C-alpha cells in the first residue's frame, strides 16, 4: 500500500507519521511519499519521519520529493494538506477582514473565501495529476476550507472524501469525560464543515443511548470552556455547537477579541521555526510535545481510519466525513457537500440518515451552503463580481458596502494567488 | 356578495372603500361590514365610507359593528387588517430593538417577531369565529407580518390567502416608467413577504419579454430612489430587491439612520388624529389627499382583484399572493408560505413555477423561513425560550447575547399582549 | 441644631437616619425635618425614622411635611436628595441612550444630561426658598449629577457643598483591606464628580505614606472586582479609577452589557415596594438589611461628617467634596466645580493643593468639564440647540448625528419636566 | 539667501519650486538645496526644479544632495517635508487602525501616533545637525504631525515654526467665494494642527468685519462640500471646522467609509509613479496638472510667506502657524503648541490674542493636547506602556482594550522605525 501526502513538508506531518506508526496494523503502509515544493522543509520533516518509523519499527519506506507527478505515481491514496500562500497568507486572512468589522479567520467569513479562492484551483490541478497518475487513487482532502474544496473535487469527478479533525476531537474529548473508549462514542454530528452541531452523543453506535443530556449536566462547564462558548448557549440549545459556531453566535464578541489582542501570527511563526529546528536534530525520533500546541489533534487517527476503510476493511464502519448530501438534508441540493457520519468502504462514503433538523440549525446551514455555492463559483471562474456576490451571500457579511470593501481587500491581498486578478 | 373588514375602523379604510367604489364592476359588493372594537373610530370611518359610496353611486350597504360574530355572519370573504396594540405597540416595535443595535421595524427583525407574537393568537381566534359563522368564507389577510400570519391560518386549516401591497406598488410604478398599463406588467416576484426580489419585469404576462434590463438602464436611479437602495446594488444584482431588503443589504446604515433621526411615531399619531378629524366632517365624501402619505397605496386595487378572483371570475388570473410553497421553491418545505405570482380562482391560489433561484437569494430566503418557523412556534406556544430561539435563528440577530437582550425587551414591552408572559 | 432633608421620603432615608442616630455625638441634631411632596411615602419613612431614633435613644425630634417653605424654616443645614421624575425617569435615562449606541446611565452621558436638565431648575428653586427662609443655612447637595447641580448652586450664590459617597466608600473599603481604621486613610482623590481617580492612598493624612502600590499588589483583584474594572487597567495606570470610569475605559463593553441584559428598573422598583412595605411595619425599628442593596453606602457617615464641620467643629478636618476649583487644577476655570479633598469648616470648603496632574487624567477632566459648562447652560436656559451642543461636547458622544438623535430622544422623553420643551 | 529642503525628493517639491519661482520678489533665493537620501528620485525632481527655475527666469541655483550635513551648511532656513517610511508607512497608518474600529489616518488617531513615533526622533536628529551647521538657521516644519513635531523641536531649543496648508487653503477658498483678494481675508483660526475651527472670517485684517455669517448664508453648501462635512454642522455651530474635524464629528461614518472603499494607497502610488515619469521628461518645465491632485495646495505660498517674514520683511505680518501657546489659550500650558494667527518677524512667531473660547471647542482641544503630551513623551522615550497611555488618552480611542490592540499593531507595523521596539 502506497500513500502520498501533498504538503508533506508541513510542520504538522510528524503528527501524521506518528499515527501511521502507531496504527500500522489498521493501515499497513509499505511506502509513504511526502511531496512538497519546499525542499528544505521537506528534508527536515522527512528526516524526522524516517526516524519515527525506525524507532517504532515500522517497516514502511519514506520517500520525499518536490516532484508531484512522480510522488503520486502509483499511490493508492493521496492526502492533501497544503496551504497555498503559507502562514503569510493565513496571517492576511486573519487580518484584513477586521478592517471591515468582520471576523478574521482562515475558514470562516471573508478570510475563508480568500483561502477558497487561492486553494481550489491548486487542488484541482493536483487532483487532475493524481488522476492521470492513477485513476483509482482516493483523494483525502484535509485542506481547508474542506467543504468547498471537497465539493470542487467531487464536481470535477474525482474520487475524493473531505476530512476534518473537529468531530474526532470531540469524540475523544467526550469519551474521556464519559470514561469510555472513543470507539464506543458515536456523534450525531451534522452540518457543513466548520458549521456543525452535535445533536446527540450515543454510546455503542448510531442507535445507542443518547447521553448528551448527561454529558451536559455533568461536564457542561468543561465542554463550554473547551469550545470557548458560554455554558448558557449549550444549555439553552441542548446540543453542542462546534467551536466555529462562536464566529456566528458570538460574532461581535469575537471581532472585539480579535481586535484587542495581538495577532497569533508572530507566535505561530516562531513556533514553526522552533519546530523545524527541533526536526533537524538527528537525535529526535518522536513528535515533540510542542507540536500538540499547533492544533490538528487526532488528525492522524482520523486519516488512518479513513484511508483504512477506503483502501481495505481496517477502519471504523462509520466515520464523520465531508461528502455529497444526496438527500440526507432534504433542504439542500444533492450535490451540496455536508459533514455527517457516513458509512465508509472501498466504494466511498454514504451519509447515514439524519432526522428532521431543527430550523435553528437548518436555516444557517442553508444560508452558508448558498454562500459556498457562490464561493466555489468564484473560485472556479474568478472575477470581482463573483467575489462580491459570495460575500453578499455570507450570513456574516450580507451588507453591500461591506461586501464591496471586503472584495477590494481580498483581491488586493491575494492578487499573486489569483490568476484572474 | 357580502364582505367583512375586521379592523374596519382603521384610518386606512377609506382607501379600501374608495377602491370598492371605483372597482364595483369587478367586485359587486352588496353589503360591506366594518368590524372594529373601537366604536368611536368606527363611527367616524363608517360615516365617511357611506358618503364615499353615496357620492360614487355605489348601491352597496355599509354596516358598522363592534360585534365580530355578528359582523362576519354570512360574509363571503373577510379581510383582516388589524393592528394588535395599535400605533403604540408599533412605536415600541420600532424602538427597543435599537437598544440592542438591531433595526427597529414592525415586520423585520425583533420588532417583527413582537408583532407576530401579538397578532397570531388574535387572528386565529377571529378566523375560528369566521369559520363557525361561515365555513366557506375566504379570509384575506393583510395583517402583518403577512407571511407568518398566513402560515398560521393555513396550518389551522383556514381558507386563507395572504396579501401585501409591495408587488402591486412596484407593478404600478414600473408601468408608469415604462408607459404601459399596469395590467401589461407581470413581475417575476419571488421570496417571502417583505423579503422579495423582482427577477424579471415582463410585458404581457408570465412569458412576455423581460424588460428589467431596459428598466434599470433607463430608470435605474428613479427606482433606486423609490426603494431607498443605492443604484449600485440594483446594477450589481441585475434584479430589483424590495424596499425591505434595505434592512439586510444596508443593515448598519439603517440602524444608524434610525438612531440619528426622530422616531416617526409622533408624526404618524398626529396624522392619524388629523385624518380622524377630517373623517368626522359630514361634508367630506372622498378619501382625503393626506391619506396617500399613510402608505398602503394600491391596497384596495389588490384586495378587490384578489376577492374578485376568489369569489367569482372578475379578477386577474395571476396575482402576487402569500400561499403554501408546495414545491415551488424546492429548498423550502411544502408548508412554508412564500410570496410569488399565483393563479387565483375560487379554489384558491396555486403558485406559478419558479425557475431555479440564484443562491444569493435562496440562502437568505431559507434562513428567514427557518426564523419564521420558529417565530410561528413561539407565537402559537409561547415561552421565553421559544422567543429566544426565533431571535437566534434570525439572520439579523444570530448572536446569543443580543438574542437574550432582545428577548427580555420583547417580553417586557409586550407583556399585556402575551397570554403566557 | 435643626436639619431639613428635602426628598426625605426616599427609601434611602432610613440609612441617613441610622447614621444620625449612631453619630449623634458628632452631629447633635435637635430637630430633623423630612420634606417630601409624596405624603404617603413620607408617612411610612417618617414613622420608621422616629422608631429608629427612639430605639437608639436619640433625643431629637423628627418632623415630616410636604410644605417645603415650612420645612426648611430655621434649618441650619438642608440636605438635598431628590430625584425629579422618580425611578420612572431614571429608567428612561438608562434606556433611550442605548438606541444611539451610548451608555444608558443616570449621571454619565446623555442620560446624565437629561437628569441635569430636569434637576437644576428644581434645585435652584428649592435653594432660593431655603435662602429666603434662612440666608445662613448650608445646602448639602447629594442630588445627582452632583457636579453640575453644585455648580448651579454656587453660581447662583448659594452656600452649598456637593457630596457624593464614592470617596467615602473607597476609603472604607481600603481601610478594611489594609486593616486600619477609616479615619487613618486619606485619599488623593481627584477629578470631577463621577470622574475621579485615587492617585494615592495615604496612611495618617494628606502627607502620610502612600500605600497605594502595596494595596494594588496585595488586593488588586479585590479592588478591581469591586470596581468592575479589569485588574490590568489598575496595574497599567498605577492608580485606582472610580467605578464610573468604566463608562469611558470600557465604553463599548458596557454598552454591550447594558444591551444584552434586562434593565434593572423592574428589579429596583420591586425592591422599593418591598422596602416601603417593611417601613410600614410598626415593629420595625432599624434599617432593614435589604436597604444595603440599594446603594448609597456610607452616605450617612459622609453627610454627618460634612454637616458637623460646616455647622460646628465635630467633623473631620479634610473631606472629599464638590467645590469651586479656584486654581486647584490650573487647567480648569476657577468656577469649575471639582471633587477633591478639602478643608471644611464653618466658612465652607477649601480644596487642598493637588500636584501637577498626569495628562492621561487631565485631558478627560478638561473635556468633561467643557461638557458640564454646556450642560449647565442648557439646564439654565433651555433650547434644543443648547442640548445638542452639550451632547456634541461630551467625550462619549462627540458625533453630530448621534448628538442629534440623542437630543430628539432626550426632549421626547423629558418633555413634561422641561419648561421650555 | 540660501534655503535647504529636507525631503526635497518628494513628488510635491515641484509645487514648492513653482512657488519659489513665482514669488521670487517676496523671497529672493540665491541658492536652493534639495536634500534627500533617495538619490534617484532626487535626480528626477531636481532636474525638473532647475527647468522650472530656468523657464521662469529665476536666477537662483538649485543643488541636490543626499548628504544632509553638506546640504544644510550655511542655509538661512531649512524646510522639513519628509515622510519616514514613505508611502508604505502611510498605507499602514491608514489601514491597521481600522482593524480596531478606529479611523485610519496618518495624522489623526492611532495612525497619527505611529507617524509621530517614527518622525520625531528623525526630525530631532536633523534639527541637531542643522543647529551644528548653522545655529541661526530657522527650521520650518511641514512634516506631519506638525503640532507634535513642532513641539518636539521647540522643547529641544530649536528655532522652529510649524506650518500647515489648511489655513491658507481656506483663506484662498473663502477669498474666491467672497470675490476679494486672499490678502484681504483674515481667519480667526484657532486650535491645534488638524484640529481647528474658523471662528471668524474678517475682511481687511484681525479687526476687520466678520463676514463668516454672510459666507455661510451665501456659500454654506459649497464650503460644506469642500470640507466633506454636512451643511447642518456648519449652520448649527456657526463656525467652520476644518476638514479634519470630520474624524471627530462624523467618526463612525468615516470609519465605515474607509472600511467600505478601497484604500487610496494603490491610487496614490500609481500617481507618484506617473509623476516621477513625467518629471523625467526633459521637455517638462512646469509643474504638471496632475500634481494638483496630490494635495498640498498653496503649500508653496505659505512656505514663501513664512520664510520671507522669518528671514526679512517680505512676508505677511500675520500668518497662521504652529507655535508655543504662551498663555494664548489659558486652559493650555504655555509650552503647548497651538495653531493660530501669529505676528511673524525675524524673532519668530507671537500668537495674536484669542477671545475666550467656546467650551465646545476648548474641551476637545484640551483633550487632544493631553494626548499630544503623551504622544511626544512616547516618541521621545519609547516603550509599549507610553504608547498605550497616549492611545488611552486620545479622545478617538479612550478604551483600554482597543488601546491595547492598537498598541500591539502600532509596534508590529513600525518595528523597523522604532529604535526601542
Task: Collect all residues with Cβ–Cβ distance below 8 Å to A231 and sequence separation of at least 6.
Answer: A220, A221, A224
Candidates B138, B123, B31; CA nearest to B78 is B138
Q: What is the mean pLDDT of chain A?
A: 96
Contact B96, B409 (CB under 8 A): yes
- What separation in angstroms does the CA of D32 have from each of D6, D27, D59? 11, 12, 11
Q: Grid coordinates in use for C197?
A: 481617580
Contact B12, B5 (CB under 8 A): no
* 3-state class (DSSP) for residue C217: helix
Q: What is the mean pLDDT of chain B?
A: 95
Relative to beta strand B337-345, strand B348-351 is antiparallel
Contact B326, B351 (CB under 8 A): yes
How confident is the model at residue D95, as a pLDDT? 94
A260: nearest CB among D98, D258, D402: D402
Q: Does residue A144 have a known ligand-binding role?
A: yes
How confident is the model at residue B162, as a pLDDT? 98
List the catalytic residues of A: 244
How confident is the model at residue B312, as a pLDDT? 87
Domain ranges within chain D, ordered by starting residue: 2-93+102-162
B402: nearest CB among C98, C100, C260: C260
pLDDT, tens only, C193-228? 999 999 999 999 999 999 999 999 999 999 999 999
Does the pLDDT of residue A344 top 90, yes or no?
yes
Contact D159, D136 (CB under 8 A): yes
Query: Facing residues of D320 across strands?
Result: D341
pLDDT, tens only, A201-258? 999 999 999 999 999 999 999 999 999 998 989 999 999 999 999 999 999 999 999 9
Query: Facing residues of B5 across strands?
Result: B34, B79
CA dihedral (D97, D103, D105, D109) positive or negative: negative
* 3-state class (DSSP) for residue C293: helix
Tell me phi and psi for residue C318, to 5 degrees: -120, 125
pLDDT, tens only, D360-371? 999 999 999 999
Does the pLDDT of residue C24 top 90, yes or no?
yes
Residue of C nearest to A257 (CA): C253
CB half-sphere exposure, D3, CA atoms < 13 A: 25
Count of CB pairs separated by less than 8 Å, B with D = 4
Q: Does B178 or C265 have the greater pLDDT score? A: B178
How confident is the model at residue C45, as a pLDDT? 97
pLDDT, tens only, C374-420? 999 999 999 999 999 999 999 999 999 999 999 999 999 999 999 99
**Residue written as grid cell 442629534:** C404
Residues of B in contact with D256 (CB under 8 A): 252-253
What percentage of chain C has pLDDT greater than the value 70? Answer: 99
Q: Is D244 a catalytic residue?
A: yes
- What ranges make up the beta strands (E) of A154-208? 160-162, 185-192, 195-203
C417: DSSP letter: G
pLDDT, tens only, A14-43? 999 999 999 999 999 999 999 999 999 999
- What ranges make up the beta strands (E) of B289-334? 318-324
How confident is the model at residue D265, as a pLDDT? 66
Range name among A29-38, D177-186, D307-316, D330-339 with the lowest pLDDT average: D307-316
The band of C185, judged by pLDDT with boundaries at 50, 70 and 90, is very high
pLDDT, tens only, B130-171? 999 999 999 999 999 999 999 999 999 999 999 999 999 999
Residue of D nearest to A400 (CA): D260
How confident is the model at residue C253, as a pLDDT? 95
CA B4 to chain centre: 18
Does the pLDDT of residue A383 top 70, yes or no?
yes
Q: Which chains touch D (3 or more CB pairs under 8 A)?
A: A, B, C
Candidates A23, A10, A73; CA nearest to A53 is A23
Query: Between chains, do B405 and C260 touch, taking CB under 8 Å as contact?
Result: yes
Mean pLDDT of A67-84: 97
List the catalytic residues of B: 244
Residues of B in contact with C408 (CB under 8 A): 261-263
Mean pLDDT of D165-188: 97
CA C139 to chain centre: 14
Relative to beta strand C318-324, strand A185-192 is unpaired
Range name among A89-103, A290-304, C340-354 with the lowest pLDDT average: A290-304
d(CA C293, CA C15): 11
Does the pLDDT of residue A263 top 90, yes or no?
no
d(CA D49, CA D62): 7
- What separation in angstroms does the CA of D30 have from each of C139, D72, D130? 74, 14, 19
A99: nearest CB among D98, D266, D405: D98
Contact A409, A386 (CB under 8 A): no
Residue of D nearest to C101 (CA): D252
- Interface residues from chain A to D (CB-CB < 8 Å): 95, 98-101, 104, 256, 258-263, 266, 401-402, 404-405, 408-409, 412
Q: Grid coordinates in use for C314?
A: 465635630
**DSSP line for B122-189:** HHHHHHHHHHHH-TT-EEEE-PSSHHHHHHHHHHTT--EEE--SHHHHHHHHHHHHHTS-GGGEEEEE
pLDDT, tens only, C93-144? 999 999 999 999 999 999 999 999 999 999 999 999 999 999 999 999 999 9
Candidates A360, A309, A346; CA nearest to A190 is A360
Range name among A107-111, C83-87, D341-345 with the lowest pLDDT average: C83-87
- How close does chain D come to C337, measured CA to CA in Å? 15
Residue of A nearest to B232 (CA): A400
Count of CB pairs separated by less than 8 Å, A with D = 55
What percentage of chain B has pLDDT greater than the value 90? Answer: 92
d(CA A46, CA A33): 9
Name which of B405, B408, B421 to mutate to probe chain C: the one with the most chain C Cβ atoms within 10 A of its Cβ.
B405
Name which of A104, A257, A260 to mutate to probe chain D: the one with the most chain D Cβ atoms within 10 A of its Cβ.
A260
How confident is the model at residue B295, as a pLDDT? 72
How confident is the model at residue B266, as a pLDDT? 67
Does the pLDDT of residue B72 top 90, yes or no?
yes
Does the pLDDT of residue B253 top 70, yes or no?
yes
A260: nearest CB among D258, D260, D404: D404
Helix (H) or strand (E) holding A351: strand A348-351
Mean pLDDT of D382-410: 97
Residues of A in contact with C253 (CB under 8 A): 256
pLDDT, tens only, C26-76? 999 999 999 999 999 999 999 999 999 999 999 999 999 999 999 999 999
The band of D313, judged by pLDDT with boundaries at 50, 70 and 90, is confident
CA D161 to chain centre: 11
Name which of A109, A370, A408 to mutate to probe chain B: the one with the most chain B Cβ atoms within 10 A of its Cβ.
A370
- How close does chain B come to D364, measured CA to CA in Å? 22
* Cis ω for the linkage preceding C332 (within 30 of 0): no
Does the pLDDT of residue A62 top 80, yes or no?
yes
d(CA C16, CA C62): 13
d(CA A175, CA A208): 14
**DSSP line for A227-252:** HTS-HHHHHHHSSEE-GGGHHHHTHH
Contact D84, D90 (CB under 8 A): no
Candidates C276, C161, C178; CA nearest to C223 is C178
**Residue written as grid cell 446527540:** A200
Query: Between chains, do D399 and C249 touch, taking CB under 8 Å as contact?
Result: yes
C402: nearest CB among B104, B260, B402: B260
The band of A50, judged by pLDDT with boundaries at 50, 70 and 90, is very high
How confident is the model at residue B267, as a pLDDT? 76
D399: nearest CB among C250, C332, C360: C250
How confident is the model at residue B270, as a pLDDT? 83
Residues of A in contact with C256 (CB under 8 A): 252-253
d(CA A348, CA A325): 13
- Interface residues from chain D to A (CB-CB < 8 Å): 95, 98-101, 104, 256, 258-263, 266, 401-402, 404-405, 408-409, 412
How confident is the model at residue A270, as a pLDDT? 84
Mean pLDDT of C227-239: 93
Residues of D in contact with B256 (CB under 8 A): 252-253
Does the pLDDT of residue C330 top 80, yes or no?
yes
d(CA B326, CA B310): 19
A415: DSSP letter: G
- How close does chain C come to D419, measured CA to CA in Å? 23
Residues of D in contact with C383 (CB under 8 A): none
CA A286 to chain centre: 24
Candidates D297, D197, D247, D228; CA nearest to D94 is D247
Mean pLDDT of B385-410: 97
CATH architecture group of domain D2-93+102-162: 3-Layer(aba) Sandwich (3.40)
- How close does chain B come to D342, measured CA to CA in Å? 40
The band of A265, judged by pLDDT with boundaries at 50, 70 and 90, is low
Q: B70-74: list long-range contacts, CB under 8 Å, 24+ apart.
A: B71/B4, B71/B6, B71/B33, B71/B34, B71/B35, B72/B4, B72/B6, B72/B33, B72/B35, B72/B129, B72/B130, B72/B133, B72/B134, B72/B137, B73/B133, B73/B134, B74/B2, B74/B133, B74/B134
Count of CB pairs separated by less than 8 Å, B with C = 55
- How close does chain B come to C289, measured CA to CA in Å? 29
How confident is the model at residue C336, as a pLDDT? 98
How confident is the model at residue C264, as a pLDDT? 67
What percentage of chain D has pLDDT greater than the value 70? Answer: 99
Residue of B nearest to D252 (CA): B256
pLDDT, tens only, B234-252? 999 999 999 999 999 999 9
pLDDT, tens only, D49-84? 999 999 999 999 999 999 999 999 999 999 999 999
The band of B372, judged by pLDDT with boundaries at 50, 70 and 90, is very high
The band of B64, judged by pLDDT with boundaries at 50, 70 and 90, is very high
C349: DSSP letter: E
Range name among A111-115, A262-266, C183-187, D400-404 with the lowest pLDDT average: A262-266
Q: Grid coordinates in use for D420?
A: 526601542
Residues of D in contact with C333 (CB under 8 A): 331
CB half-sphere exposure, C139, CA atoms < 13 A: 32
Helices A212-227, A166-178: axis angle to 10 degrees equals 120
Burial annotation B47-82 (CB, 10 A radius, 16+ → b, else e): bbbbbbbeeeebebebbbbeebeebbbebbbbbbbb
How confident is the model at residue D167, as a pLDDT? 97
How confident is the model at residue D292, as a pLDDT? 84
Query: Between chains, do D366 and C331 touch, taking CB under 8 Å as contact?
Result: yes
Does the pLDDT of residue A314 top 90, yes or no?
no
d(CA D403, CA C237): 13
- Interface residues from chain A to B (CB-CB < 8 Å): 230, 232-233, 236, 248-253, 331-333, 359-360, 362-364, 366-371, 373-374, 385, 388-389, 392-393, 395, 398-402
Residues of D in contact with A415 (CB under 8 A): none
The band of C265, judged by pLDDT with boundaries at 50, 70 and 90, is low
Does the pLDDT of residue A393 top 90, yes or no?
yes
pLDDT, tens only, B287-310? 999 988 877 789 999 999 999 999
Q: Which chains touch B (3 or more CB pairs under 8 A)?
A: A, C, D
Q: Does residue A384 have a known ligand-binding role?
A: no
How confident is the model at residue A36, as a pLDDT? 97
Mean pLDDT of D119-144: 97
D259: nearest CB among A95, A99, A258: A99
pLDDT, tens only, D234-292? 999 999 999 999 999 999 999 999 999 876 666 778 888 999 999 999 999 999 999 88
On the 0-12 / 13-18 / 19+ scale of CB atoms within 10 A, B347 is exposed
Residues of C in contact with D399 (CB under 8 A): 248-253
Candidates B343, B341, B318, B350; CA nearest to B190 is B341
- What separation in angstroms does the CA of D347 have from each of C175, C312, D136, D137, D138? 58, 59, 11, 12, 10
The band of A397, judged by pLDDT with boundaries at 50, 70 and 90, is very high
Amino acid at each position: 500500500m502506497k500513500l502520498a501526502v501533498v504538503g508533506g513538508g508541513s510542520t504538522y506531518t510528524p503528527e501524521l507519521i506518528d499515527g501511521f506508526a502507531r496504527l500500522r496494523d489498521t493501515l499497513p503502509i509499505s511506502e509513504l511519499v511526502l511531496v512538497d515544493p519546499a525542499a528544505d522543509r521537506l528534508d527536515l520533516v522527512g528526516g524526522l519521519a524516517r526516524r519515527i518509523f525506525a524507532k517504532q519499527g515500522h517497516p514502511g519506506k519514506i520517500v520525499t520529493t518536490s516532484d508531484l507527478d512522480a510522488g503520486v505515481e502509483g499511490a493508492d491514496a493521496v492526502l492533501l494538506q497544503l496551504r497555498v500562500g503559507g502562514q503569510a497568507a493565513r496571517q492576511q486572512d486573519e487580518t484584513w477582514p477586521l478592517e471591515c468589522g468582520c471576523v478574521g479567520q482562515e475558514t470562516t467569513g471573508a478570510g475563508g473565501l480568500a483561502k477558497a479562492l487561492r486553494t481550489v484551483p491548486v487542488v484541482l490541478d493536483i487532483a487532475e495529476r493524481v488522476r492521470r497518475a492513477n485513476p483509482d487513487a482516493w483523494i483525502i482532502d484535509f485542506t481547508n476550507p474542506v467543504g468547498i474544496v471537497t465539493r470542487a473535487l467531487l464536481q470535477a469527478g474525482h474520487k475524493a472524501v473531505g476530512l476534518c479533525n473537529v468531530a474526532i476531537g470531540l469524540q475523544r474529548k467526550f469519551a474521556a469525560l464519559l470514561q469510555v473508549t472513543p470507539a464506543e462514542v458515536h456523534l450525531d454530528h451534522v452540518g457543513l464543515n466548520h458549521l456543525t452541531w452535535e445533536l446527540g452523543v450515543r454510546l455503542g453506535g448510531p442507535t445507542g443511548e443518547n447521553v448528551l443530556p448527561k454529558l451536559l449536566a455533568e461536564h457542561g462547564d468543561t465542554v463550554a470552556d473547551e469550545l470557548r462558548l458560554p455554558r448558557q448557549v449549550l444549555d439553552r440549545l441542548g446540543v453542542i455547537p462546534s467551536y466555529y459556531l462562536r464566529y456566528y453566535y458570538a460574532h461581535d464578541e469575537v471581532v472585539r477579541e480579535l481586535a484587542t489582542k495581538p495577532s497569533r501570527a508572530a507566535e505561530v511563526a516562531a513556533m514553526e521555526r522552533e519546530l523545524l529546528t527541533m526536526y533537524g536534530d538527528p537525535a529526535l525520533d518522536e513528535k515533540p510535545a510542542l507540536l500538540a500546541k499547533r492544533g490538528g489533534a487526532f488528525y492522524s487517527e482520523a486519516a488512518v481510519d479513513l484511508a483504512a476503510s477506503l483502501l481495505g476493511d481496517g477502519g471504523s464502519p462509520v466515520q464523520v466525513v465531508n461528502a455529497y448530501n444526496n438527500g440526507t438534508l432534504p433542504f439542500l441540493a444533492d450535490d451540496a457537500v455536508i459533514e455527517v457520519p457516513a458509512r465508509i468502504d472501498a466504494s466511498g462514503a454514504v451519509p447515514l440518515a439524519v432526522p428532521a433538523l431543527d430550523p435553528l440549525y437548518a436555516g444557517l446551514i442553508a444560508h452558508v451552503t448558498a454562500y459556498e455555492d457562490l464561493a466555489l463559483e468564484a473560485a472556479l471562474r474568478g472575477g470581482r463580481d463573483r467575489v462580491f456576490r459570495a460575500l453578499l451571500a455570507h450570513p456574516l457579511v450580507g451588507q453591500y458596502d461591506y461586501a464591496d470593501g471586503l472584495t477590494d481587500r481580498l483581491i488586493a491581498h491575494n492578487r499573486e494567488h489569483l490568476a484572474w486578478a
